[in-house]
Every structure is written in structure tokens, then in C-alpha cells.
Structure 1
Amino acid sequence: MQTYAHRTERTYKRSFGLRMLGLVLGFLILIAPVHAQDVLRIPYVADIGTFDPDNGFETGAMSAINNVYEGLVEYEPGSTKVVGLLARSWEISDDGLTYTFHLVDGVKFHDGTPFNAAAVVNSFQRRRDRGLSLSYFLSNVAEVRAQDDLTVVLTLKHPQPSFLDALSSPWGPKVISPTALAEHDNGEFAKTGLNEHAVGTGPFKLTEFNRGQRYVLERNDDYWGDKPFFRTIQISVVPDISQQILQLQAGLIDAVPINYPFAQLTNLPTGLEITAAPSMNQFDLFARPGSPLDDVEVRKAVMTAINPALWVKDAFGQFATPSKSLYSKAMLDALHPVEFPTDLDAAKAAIAKHGAVSLVIGLHSAAPSYGRIAELMIAQLALIGVKATAYILPSGAAYTLKDDPNPPDLLLTISGPDAAHPENQAKVFFTKDAPLNFFGRVLPEADTIVDKAGQTTDIKERNALYERAGQLYFDAGQIIPLVDVDDVVVHVQGLEDLGLRPMYPPGNIDFATVRRGS
């Protein structure tokens, strides 16, 4: 009996222990998905150069920076409508020179410093006056002053109808904690310190900066606005898209934000889905002066062959459409779309009459879409007797083509503006002094129309002028718009409200709005 009783007790204890272990494991299984729900894991193709919102033209990391820092206004998700952010309302004077912003009350920076008008003045003056790379956003601001603790007044040098768009740009001026600016100022206005530190008012705080490997954002539980769904955003740097896809399929990350091959989108593995949204991701060709396209007959023949209607579906499936103008359709819906010739037999005859024509296409990027577009256009050109080749330009080479002794005949690029106003497209890419007028082409008649449009406040009249100027650049063969491509994010099933904005570079999920559905 004693032996039996002893064994029974041990058996009971073992059984009880196993039951408790089972309960604990079951509990962990139950809570593990809940814990996982708190974390969003996002890969970046390129490393983050800087978290300084004033001193770096980041593209892939825009969602991270803009969830740490905030500006006075922003573009509403899914549109180009300007809405308030740190400014709850504003007025514009009749002469278009004075902008008065009324600030949200009760906001604090991540370090506890109160947000007020003085902080706005301090940040805006830093961007404008300290030689930072994005200072041009405020170059037309003559004065920025605090009228009181919750009112900021900006006075312009001359009217600028695109000014609110400049402030709403993803690269527009943000407000930085004055305490942090002072702490990181080593005599160079915190240019170095803010590369790896960030103190804003946004819904997330930067808590880990591990260059080239990993970045972590944690939810700001004292945020003045709506609280984000995710507590933690884990950002990894994974340059290879195939590796990103493998990690997504293995459940190690939650999305492939950009460059998922379009050819694979129609046959996604189980458990994955697509969110697509309008984008200003427009592919264009810029032609150098002196290229074979200067000949009107050759240009017409080439335009016939590369007509994007012939290849857009092969390249992008349902996620792109032929461009209607030199401006993205998300910015300006052209009333009179550009037209490509369509008679391939006539194009072939024109080339045969002219004699041998060869074209070299320079690709601004090694991203897969560039190569696919070039491949399809080369095949189309071969049908009319034009020999074309393509190569990927070295990093940064597109910006020095004016001085290149042996430039390509055509540059294939994305002419993405920095704000959703047509002026930001024309004055950056098209006009004589545009910084990204890649080949330095000049068309004074069109430039004059752009100048007039830039001072026009009536949107319908303004858009008509920009569209007319764009048509002139197109007719002259300087710039050839090809396709508008959607912002396409492949992610695990259940992610909702990604907050994609047309003006943002593709793939920039808004960490403040994205959530897991029920």
C-alpha cells in the first residue's frame, strides 16, 4: 500500500505538472499572436541616410521619418488634399503673402518639451537659414514669427499658390524639439546629431538606430492624436528583393513595400495579398539634343513604336495606364491627352527611307521595372527597323548628363515631383533652370506659360496652362511621358488602412494608420 500510495502521489504530481505545462503552453500559444499583432516588420531596400527631416532627401524611409516628425499640414491619405496636422486651421491674406497658422494645443515633443509657436519658428528658421539640403522649401519665406504661443505667421516674398503644397510635401518642413536641437548642436546646427537621433511630435519614437541593419520605432503613448494600432515598427535593411520575398513567405516580415515583380502579382502564394493605390510614379523618356529624335520623321516613327498602349499591360498588368500628359494623373487629369502615332507600317517605311537609326537608352535605376520597360521598347523599335540598346547608368550619373561627353540618346526615369502642385513638376524637370532638366533642353514658349500658370490661383485655369506647356514640351520631343504606375504593396493578409499617399514615394506605408483587420 505504501509503495502504491507513493507511486500514486508521484504520478499525480507528474500528471498535474504536465497539465500545468500544457496550460502554460496553451496560454503562450494564445497570447503569442496577440503579441505579434503589436509588431509590424517592414524591410527597406536602401539604408536610411539620415533621420534629419531638413537635411536629406530620403525616399524609402519617408514613412519612418514622417511618423516621428510632423509638419503644420499634410496630404490626406489617398489624395492630394491638404489637411491640417500640427496646424488645426489657417488663413491666407488676400494678396497671397501672409499665411497665419493656428496650432493644436496641448502637444508635446517626445522628450516632454511643449510644442508651441516658438518651436515652429526655431525649426523653420533652421531649415531656411542654415544651409540644409531642403532649405529651398522655405526660400520664398521672408519672415516667420510667433504671434502668440499658438499662432505662427509666415510672410512670403511674393505670392506662391503652391506654398501649401510645399508645406504638405513629404519632404516639407517639420517641427523638431528645440531642446533636442540645442542638445545636438555642436556648432553646426545639429546637422550631425540629428542623423541618428530624432525628437518630434509624431505617433512614433525612434528607439533604435543600427545603421545598415535595423531600426525600431515605438508607439508614442502620449501622442496628441489618434493612437496607432501597432506598438512597435521593426525596420530591417534587405536590399535584395528576392530575399524580401522569401522572408515574406516565411513569415519573417509583413510586407514587401516596393519592387515585387509585376509578373508574379497574379499568382501570389496563399496568405499574401495586394494593396494598390494611385501614385505619382510616372515613367518618362528625356531626349538629349542632337539625338536621332531631332529629325521629325524619325521621332514620329520612334513614337509610333514605343507607344505605351502597346506594352503597358505586358510590363505592369492591371497596375499601370498610359500617361495622359507630362503630369501624373494623380496630380493633373489632362483634358486633352497626348497622342502617339499608331501606323506601324508608316513608321517602318519612314525608317527605311531615312536609313539606319540606332538609339541608346540610359536607365536611371537598376530596379526591375526599368529593365522591363526598356526590353519591351527595344522589341517594339526592332519591328520598325530601329536598333536600340539600353544600359543602367552609374549611381548619380543621370544628374550630370549635361556634362557627359557620351550621353545616352534617351534617359528612362521617374520624374517624381516633391509636391503635388504642377509647378513642382514643371519647375523641377521641364523649364530652362529646372534642377532636373537632365539634358538642359530649353523651350522658351513653354517656359513662359509655366511662369504664368505658377501665379494662377484658379485651379481649372492653372491646370489648362500647365497642360498646354506640357503639350509643347512633348511636341518638341524633349520629354515623352510613358506610363503612370500604381503604388503596389504585397503584404500578409489582414493588413488594412496602409495610408498610401499619391505624393509619397511608392511603398511608404503610414505606420500611424495601418492595422490588422479582425
Structure 2
Amino acid sequence: MQTYAYPTKQPGKRSFCVRLLILLGLLLAASPVYAEGVLRIPYVADIGTFDPDNGFETGAISAIDNVYQGLVQYEPGSTKIVGSLATSWDISDDGLTYTFHLAEGVKFHDGAPFNAAAVIKSFERRRDHRMILSYFLANVKDMRAPDDSTVVLTLGHPQPSLLDALSSPWGPKIISPSALAEHDNGDFATTWLNEHAVGTGPFKLAEFKRGQRYVLERNDAYWGDKPFFRQIQISVVPDISQQILQLQAGAIDAVPINYPFAQLTSLPGTLEITTAPSMIPYDLFVKPNSPLDDLEVRKAVLTAINPALWLQDAFGEFASLSRSVYPNVMLDPVTPIRFPTDFEAAKATIAKHGAVHLVIGLHSAAPAYARIADLMIAQLALIGVKATAYVLPSGAAYALKGDPNPPDLLLTIAGPDAAHPENQAKVFFTKDAPLNFFGRVLPEADVIVNQAGQLTDIKERNALYERAGRMYFDAGIVIPLVNVNDVVVHAKGLKHLGLRPVNPPGNIDFATVRWGP
């Protein structure tokens, strides 16, 4: 994880004095807030639900994960699994039984004691009652508590990815059993938990004003390390220009996502960047019966859209070429995917084939999508391919299988929900993958994915995942492009943001962030 500030032009004497007065005014205006220990963060989108079991929040996942905790978690800046509410764990030789030893002396925000029964209550709520995130525990066939500080999970079949699933930002969290019982109106407390929360985390949900403002208060009875900030104030500011103006004026402390990459080299001296590797791969998914079904046309198109030609223009130093169909942080392939480079051959292929028209659907209206599309369209024009792009309506990417007129290509971020390669392959590529956008099937690759999912030897496992991934690419199902870093622009002096590769971009860890060294 890196934090740095870019040099700025030296102003003239008069300009310098004016800027100094403005800066002093901003610092004076902001200093009382800093002294009060308040961190002010904007969200571009509203929180759909604060229920940790029943929604796939992205921008707000750090807020949820600082109120609730799971048994294990990913260490900041890493995919290393470390304890949280579980201090240690044992795995049986057959891979079917996981025994977790729980932290002692932990209490929920409502004062209820944390124990093994609370873990099982929360896990059963997620698994058994049609919660959106129930799939995380689908393979857990039995749960028991031999005593208050021990939880034993028995699986239906060996699942080496289980600890990753439990460590996921969307993995199972523990909710106060007292709150669940009190607010269960026949809906397992889902209505109440949309806008309320009772966990064990370092912060409590203190205010929930939908579409306007959310406040987290420090849990002064927290069992772990005490957070630096006593309060987190979250505002909903959809317009990125407004966020930038507020940041420059000292009204907020960070722009967590979507700061234009082109502006990152000319930040004011009061701002700096924290960047970290992330699982943010931009991929193209290809519909069946597109012009790319023709192998020669596909090779020509790959030549034109080669991300090595436009990565720097789109993201500067904050991205790297994708090395496989898996995020670079997740899997380092022995033989990286290479794009063809013979432009003359590509032009000749298109000239021989005849007119080729491609339509690119953009999963989001975020600026990076349009920038990538514009650059690829310009490159395609150089070989005689006409391409256009449009932003899909909200949610339309998830219904492309039934769309009578889908785009030829879907440009999307294919980020997994955990750091195990199974969480990439079985989310995006296999037959029943929930985000297999066009429903394309390659049975021989799926068989290899299933074999890899049973292995605990990482080198052997990754070799199989790499092989299957290359098959999906060679079949023209998916085209990996670039991996983009997590980039947060913030007031100078904000440190230890706790960014995690698996988390969606911009999710600052409120438990670790602080002012100073």
C-alpha cells in the first residue's frame, strides 16, 4: 500500500499568498472536526440494506464490516486469513470438520454476551431462511457448540475454499441473538435489520437516514484495539465533481472511488493518494453467435483491443495488464495470456472477412468504463472494425441470458467475493455460475475447475485453475483486460486506510484509519 503526493507547479508571489490564506482558512475550519475525532466520508450510492446476510452491498461494505464481525477475516493489504471472533481453528484430516475456538470476553453492542450459540444462531439465519448471501454456507451440513467458546462446522463435501468464504467481506457475520429475537416479526428480523444493527465490531450504527446521512459511533466497550476516530460521518454524494469540491474545501476527508485518473497527477498540495493492489479486473464477456465466434476475426479483434496499447492512457500508473482470467492478486499464472500484435495481419483479416460491427455494453456509467470503451473503439477502427458502446440500464447485465438483443460484448468488473480461485471460476465461468452473464458453457473446463476445488496444495490447485481459465479464454468466452488498483484520494495526513484486495474499491477500514504517522 502506497501513500504519496504529486508535486505541483510553483505559484507566483501574489497567487501564493492568496492560496495560503485560503488554505489557512480551510485548515482553521477543518481543525475542530479533526480535534473531535470525526472522519467524514462520502458514498456515491445509497446503502440498500445494513443487513449483513441479505444484501450485496459494495460501497458500504466497510461500514457493515466495522459494525459486524465474522469468525475470520483478510488481513489489511493482503489475502492472508487471520482470526477475528475466532482466535484459532482446526481442520480435520478429511477436510470435512472445522473447529473454531472463539475469543472470550466479547459482548454485543446491546450488552448480550458473544458465545458459540450466537454464532450458530447467526449462521442458521443466513443459511436456512433464503437470505441473499446464504450460498456462503450452502455446504455446511451441521453446526454444533460443544461449549460456549467452541463452534464445530461439518461440511457436506471437502471445501478448501471455506475459510476464504468465511473471510470474505460478504461472509457470515455474527448478529446479537437478543436483537434477532426481539425484532423477529416472522421475517427473521430482516425488516428491522435493513436500517438497524447490533454486532460486536469497533463501531455502532448510530444514525441511519436513508439517502442522506449515516453515522457510526465508536464502541468504547470494544474488545479489541480502540479505533482512532470516535465518529464516522457518511454522506450520500452521487456527483463525483461535488465530492472533489467538498474534499478540496475541507468539508470531507476523502474521495474513496471514481476520482478521475487523468487528474491524479495534478492534485493540490493539501491532498494525497493511497493506492493498493486490488481485485478489480476489467473483463469483456462475449455473447454466443457474435462475430468473435470466427477464430480469425477474434484474433484480429484481440490485436486491436490489446490493453497494452491503451492501459497507460486510461489509468496511468494505477493499473496492470491482466495475466489470466483471474485477478493478478489471486493467481500468478505460469504462462500469462498474451494478445496478438500483428496489426497488418489483423487489417487483412477484416478486409477479407467483410464488414464487422461490434456493440459493447457497459455495465456502469462510471467514467472508467467509457474511457476503456472509447480507447478500444478507436483501436478497432484502425483495423476496419466498426464498434459502438452504450451504458446498460441498471441491473440489465444480470439479465443478458434472456435479452433478445444483447450487446456482442459486456465490459464489466469481474471481481470475486473471496480470494480463492474457486470464487472466480464458479461465480463467472462455470455452467451454473450466478454471473455467467451470457450462460455460455465449456464442460471440459468446468470439470477441471471441480478437480481444482478439491485440492489443498496451492501450486497444484493453481495449475489446474490456470488451465481451465486458459480454456475459457481460448474458447472466446471471456477476454481479460486490466487489473486496476484501489485508489483513494484524501486529505494529507490520513494514514492506515486498511484497504483490502478483496474489498470493493474505496472501502476504508474505519478501525485502522487515523491521522498522523
Q: Normalising TM by the smaller chain, what interval? A: over 0.9
| Matching residue's letter, 2:240 | I
* Residue 373 of structure 2 is aligned to residue 374 of structure 1: yes
- 1:429 equivalent in structure 2: 428
Alignment CA distance shift 1:215-1:31 (3 Å): closer
CA contact (8 A) 2:30 2:251 kept: no
Report 1:274-423 matches (<5 A).
Answer: 274-423=273-422
| Matching residue's letter, 1:439 | F
What SS does structure 1 have at the residue aligned with 2:465?
Answer: helix
* Residue 503 of structure 2 is aligned to residue 504 of structure 1: yes
CA contact (8 A) 1:331 1:420 kept: yes
Question: For 2:466 and 2:31, how far apart are their aligned partners in 1?
Answer: 55
| Matching residue's letter, 1:438 | F
Cα deviation, residue 30, structure 1 = 12
- 1:147 equivalent in structure 2: 146
CA contact (8 A) 1:402 1:438 kept: yes
Q: Compare CA radii of gyration and give the structure with the larger one.
A: 1
The C-alpha deviation readout for 1:193-219, integer Å capped at 9, x for no partner, is 101110000000000000000000000
- 1:493 equivalent in structure 2: 492
* Residue 89 of structure 2 is aligned to residue 75 of structure 1: no
The C-alpha deviation readout for 1:398-432, integer Å capped at 9, x for no partner, is 11111111010000001111111000100010011
| Matching residue's letter, 1:378 | I
Report 1:235-254 matches (<5 A).
Answer: 235-254=234-253
Alignment CA distance shift 1:34-1:405 (3 Å): closer
Cα deviation, residue 35, structure 1 = 4.9
Cα deviation, residue 31, structure 1 = 11
Cα deviation, residue 182, structure 1 = 1.1
| Matching residue's letter, 2:294 | D
Q: Which runs of 5+ in 1 are unaligned?
A: 1-28
CA contact (8 A) 1:315 1:373 kept: yes
Question: For 1:295 and 1:286, how far apart are their aligned partners in 2?
Answer: 16
Question: For 1:144 and 1:282, how far apart are their aligned partners in 2?
Answer: 36
- 2:231 equivalent in structure 1: 232
Question: For 1:335 and 1:39, how far apart are their aligned partners in 2?
Answer: 47
- 1:132 equivalent in structure 2: 131
CA contact (8 A) 1:37 1:516 kept: no
CA contact (8 A) 2:206 2:217 kept: yes
- 1:184 equivalent in structure 2: 183
Cα deviation, residue 334, structure 1 = 1.2
Report 1:103-122 matches (<5 A).
Answer: 103-122=102-121
| Matching residue's letter, 2:180 | L
CA contact (8 A) 2:440 2:477 kept: yes
Cα deviation, residue 507, structure 1 = 0.3
What SS does structure 2 have at the residue aligned with 1:279?
Answer: coil
Question: For 2:35 and 2:254, how far apart are their aligned partners in 1?
Answer: 14
Report 1:198-213 matches (<5 A).
Answer: 198-213=197-212
CA contact (8 A) 2:361 2:392 kept: yes
CA contact (8 A) 2:52 2:173 kept: yes
What SS does structure 2 have at the residue aligned with 1:469?
Answer: helix
Question: For 2:251 and 2:330, how far apart are their aligned partners in 1?
Answer: 36
* Residue 36 of structure 2 is aligned to residue 49 of structure 1: no
CA contact (8 A) 2:30 2:250 kept: no
Question: For 1:306 and 1:454, how far apart are their aligned partners in 2?
Answer: 32
What SS does structure 1 have at the residue aligned with 2:62?
Answer: helix
- 2:23 equivalent in structure 1: none
Identity of counterpart residues, as a percentage?
Answer: 80
Cα deviation, residue 34, structure 1 = 7.1
Cα deviation, residue 274, structure 1 = 0.3
Question: For 1:432 and 1:231, how far apart are their aligned partners in 2?
Answer: 47
| Matching residue's letter, 2:469 | G
- 1:175 equivalent in structure 2: 174
| Matching residue's letter, 1:110 | H
Question: For 1:39 and 1:482, how far apart are their aligned partners in 2?
Answer: 39
Cα deviation, residue 246, structure 1 = 0.6
Question: For 2:482 and 2:35, how far apart are their aligned partners in 1?
Answer: 39
| Matching residue's letter, 2:374 | E
What SS does structure 2 have at the residue aligned with 1:216?
Answer: strand
Question: For 2:117 and 2:43, how far apart are their aligned partners in 1?
Answer: 35
Cα RMSD (Å):
1.1
* Residue 162 of structure 2 is aligned to residue 163 of structure 1: yes
What SS does structure 1 have at the residue aligned with 2:302?
Answer: helix
The C-alpha deviation readout for 1:136-160, integer Å capped at 9, x for no partner, is 1001001111110100000111100
- 1:468 equivalent in structure 2: 467
- 2:3 equivalent in structure 1: none
Cα deviation, residue 363, structure 1 = 0.3
What SS does structure 1 have at the residue aligned with 2:262?
Answer: helix
- 1:443 equivalent in structure 2: 442
Question: For 2:41 and 2:29, how far apart are their aligned partners in 1?
Answer: 24
- 1:26 equivalent in structure 2: none
The C-alpha deviation readout for 1:156-198, integer Å capped at 9, x for no partner, is 1110010000000000000000111111111110010101110
Alignment CA distance shift 1:302-1:178 (3 Å): same
Question: For 1:472 and 1:444, how far apart are their aligned partners in 2?
Answer: 10
Question: For 1:502 and 1:184, how far apart are their aligned partners in 2?
Answer: 35
Cα deviation, residue 36, structure 1 = 3.7
Runs of 4+ in 1 over 2 A off after TM superposition: 29-37
* Residue 110 of structure 2 is aligned to residue 84 of structure 1: no
Q: Which runs of 5+ in 2 are unaligned?
A: 1-27
The C-alpha deviation readout for 1:290-348, integer Å capped at 9, x for no partner, is 00000111000000000000000000000001100000011111111001000111101
- 1:6 equivalent in structure 2: none
Cα deviation, residue 473, structure 1 = 0.7
CA contact (8 A) 2:46 2:236 kept: yes
Question: For 1:363 and 1:470, how far apart are their aligned partners in 2?
Answer: 23
Alignment CA distance shift 1:376-1:127 (3 Å): same
Question: For 2:120 and 2:371, how far apart are their aligned partners in 1?
Answer: 47
What SS does structure 2 have at the residue aligned with 1:280?
Answer: coil
Cα deviation, residue 33, structure 1 = 3.8
- 1:4 equivalent in structure 2: none
How many equivalent pairs are there? 490
Question: For 1:346 and 1:316, how far apart are their aligned partners in 2?
Answer: 28
What SS does structure 1 have at the residue aligned with 2:278?
Answer: strand
Cα deviation, residue 508, structure 1 = 0.2
Question: For 2:473 and 2:159, how far apart are their aligned partners in 1?
Answer: 26
TM-score normalised by structure 2 residue count: 0.94
Question: For 1:517 and 1:31, how far apart are their aligned partners in 2?
Answer: 15
CA contact (8 A) 1:274 1:488 kept: yes
| Matching residue's letter, 2:477 | Q
| Matching residue's letter, 2:208 | F
What SS does structure 2 have at the residue aligned with 1:192?
Answer: helix
| Matching residue's letter, 1:483 | V
